Amino acid sequence: MSFLIGSDNVQLTVYDLYQKLRKEMGPSGWWPADSKEEIIIDAILIQNTNWQNADKARQLFADKTAFAPTKICQLDIASLETLVRPAGFYRNKSKAIRGVFSWLAEHDFDYPAIRRQYGDDLRNKLLALHGIGQETADVLLTYVFDVPRFISDKYARTLFTLLGIDGLAKYQDLDLRYQLDDRFTPAMAKDFHGLIDEFGKVYFHPRSKFAGSFLAGDRLILH
């Protein structure tokens, strides 16, 4: 970390930011799930809703399938829609779940083999699946396939904006400007995303609470 001359502000690289978050908050423990299949369901359910609504649907999935991939694949579309309904957009999310799990079943849910087969094209393959956008694809890459990606979600863009980076209205605005460097392992990438989201839950509701955080006054540089 380097201090700006004549200022109390700290100038942080993104790697510095991760280290500071971890020092102040401890490990995030993200993604909080017992299996990769549960993470996939969570990542789709959380689209365009809040954690409370997504968790209601997640619990229905847990009760019905225990997140066993064979049981999820056996659900007909009507049953899927019933389980997804509390999370909203239930038709689209049901199709997304069915599409992703059908594709994974073709590969016997062998995640390392899928990563090896598609290599650098894996993100494009995920984006080609129904209902999988950029954020969900990056979550799956990071948490399911152990490919370190920076997840430019709303919390990340809000934090980077508050730390002095402008023009981050959309996901791709940050995704195209920053990606993790080689110092970030898969475990660190997972933890970083979790720390940012946990920080946001505390200090962005309302955003004025950021002024009382341990990052207030810091400035970020994108490298």
Whichever domain contains 66, its CATH number is 1.10.340.30
Confidence class for position 1, pLDDT limits 50, 70, 90: very low
Residue 116 resides in a domain: yes
Tally of domains within the chain: 1
Residue 214 resides in a domain: no
Residue 114 resides in a domain: yes
Q: Is 11 left (phi over 0), alpha (psi -120 to 50) or beta?
A: beta
Residue 83 resides in a domain: yes
Structural domain boundaries enclosing 87: 36-143
User: How many helices and strands in the chain, by DSSP H and E?
Assistant: 12, 3
Q: Quick one: pLDDT at residue 52?
A: 94
Tens of pLDDT along 84-128? 999 999 999 999 999 999 999 999 999 999 999 999 999 999 999
Tens of pLDDT along 54-68? 999 999 999 999 999
Residue 108 resides in a domain: yes
Residue 20 resides in a domain: no
| Spatial contact of 30 and 190, defined as CB atoms under 8 Å apart | yes
Residue 110 resides in a domain: yes
Confidence class for position 6, pLDDT limits 50, 70, 90: very low
Closest CA to 161 of 212, 204, 214, 205: 204
Confidence class for position 8, pLDDT limits 50, 70, 90: low
Residue 211 resides in a domain: no
Q: Quick one: pLDDT at residue 223?
A: 73
d(CA 53, CA 150): 25
- Whether pLDDT at 5 is above 80: no
- Whether pLDDT at 164 is above 90: yes
